[in-house]
Amino acid sequence: MTDFAYTAKSLTGERRSGVIAASSRAEAMQKLRAQSMFPMTLVDPQASRPAWTKISLPVRITKEQTADLCAQLADLLTNGVPMLESLKILADATENPRLSEACLRIHESVSQGDSLDSAMAKEPGIFSELTLSMIRAGQEGAFLEEALQRTANFLRKQDEMRSKIIGALTYPIILGVAGTVIVAAMVVFLVPKFQPFFDRLEQTGSGLPLITVILLGASHTLMNYGLFVILGVAGLTVALVRWMKSATGRRIVDQVKLKTPIAGAIFHDAAVSRACRVLGTMLKNGVPLLRSLRISSESTGNILLAEAMMKSAENVTAGDSLSKPLAASGLIPPQVMAMIRVAEESNTLDEVLVKIADRIDGRIERKLEVMVRMIEPMMLIFIGGMVLFVIVGVLLPVFDMNSSVG
């Protein structure tokens, strides 16, 4: 809501000034007319502020917030609150300003005759195609409240799994970054202190050990060209990220991810779980099978599995079964394929797919715990190795000199 400063005339011709809260200029004008006042000026104080005062950091909308919005809308509709009033209530109650503004825009679109899914489709950064398809199916099948509630549950489940993965990897990442910074600081600030000593050793004819030469080279490079090294690493990172987003890069990265020891099994299970959960949830919400296959293939996060699912869609179009191309891809575990075949024959595919996803998610959690337990000591060994490299590089010439004197 925005506070508009107004100047208006009453029915008696009296001039009045004040502030009125409204979501838009048109709504403010409407409110003033409803009070039998005729607006002369209507100013948004925010618009008159200098441009630099309006600069703010972008506000992120999390899956949890989107899930809460869907669940609250489902509750309001179930309790008999009209759609427009429900959207207005959510716009006022939502704490995230970006999501609140989106609710107001959706309210305006719906009031002008758009369906809920069409209005939400105008906010692509907030509502995914998966969410829109489930809501569209709910509207067409007259079970919108149930579709919204299922969408909320699905988004929460996805966000919960993502949070667990991030939480599991946070400590090893912090450990690696902190260790790298400490070692870099030692190379830049500690090693140069010994440079005069190393120079005297070279003048006396005693050569420096190879490890010390490498250490000095790294120290000189970071001291003299540190900025260029940082820029070079940043440039390579940007180039690598862009390449990974390309079709060729995505395919190679996905192949490598699946073949990576320990982590590869987690990446594989996560992709299969996402595909099963999305497909099962959409089928349960009445979304047609072909559309469900296309959307779920885009949600797997693995291009190889996505291609296998698209081949399944072609099979279904040709009147064949869903399971044949999935089994031929070799990406779906045999026990999962057996369950899918049975579910396909018994027409319980939606329920079975969600159960498969739940089971795989439990296995992912156990594998994550094992992986984190292995990563932490490996990171400590790696950091200890880097520190040992610096210490040995500095002290080895001293030991060599003592042995030669002795």
Burial profile 241-259: b = 16 or more Cβ within 10 angstroms, e = fewer: eeeeeeeeebeebbeebbe
Distance of CA 287 to the CA centre of its chain: 25
Q: What is the pLDDT of residues 340-398, one digit of tens each?
A: 888 877 778 788 888 888 888 888 888 888 887 888 788 888 888 888 888 888 888 87
Question: Is residue 36 scored above 50 in pLDDT?
Answer: yes
Using alpha carbons, select from 345, 332, 346 the residue that is nearest to residue 276: 332
> Which tokens belong to 224?
């003299």
Q: What is the pLDDT of residues 309-337, one digit of tens each?
A: 787 777 777 766 667 767 777 777 788 88
Paired with 38 in beta bridges are: 9
Per-residue model confidence (pLDDT) at position 405 = 55
Beta strands in 67-181 (DSSP E): none
Helix (H) or strand (E) holding 8: strand 2-10
CA angle 321, 325, 330 (to 5 degrees): 135
Residue 159 confidence class, pLDDT cut points 50, 70, 90: confident
Q: What is the DSSP letter of 188?
A: I
Terminal CA-CA length for the chain: 84
Reduced 3-state DSSP string for 200-218: HHHHCCCCCCHHHHHHHHH
Least confident span in 24-28, 152-156, 340-344: 24-28
**50, 128 contact by CB (below 8 A):** no
Q: What is the pLDDT of residues 235-273, one digit of tens each?
A: 999 999 898 888 888 888 888 888 887 778 888 888 888
CATH code for the part of the protein at 63-158: 1.20.81.30
Residue showing tokens 């099979």: 315
Determine the Cα–Cα distance for residues 131 and 118; give it in Å rounded to an integer.
Answer: 12
Choice between 239 and 175, residue whose per-residue pLDDT is larger: 239
Return the sign of the alpha-carbon dihedral for residues 171, 176, 177, 182. Answer: positive
- The domain made up of 159-406 has a fold known as Receptor-associated Protein (1.20.81)
Kindly report the backbone phi and psi dihedral angles of residue 143, in degrees, each rounded to the nearest multiple of 5, phi listed first. Answer: -135, 50
The SS3 of residue 82 is coil
Per-residue model confidence (pLDDT) at position 235 = 93
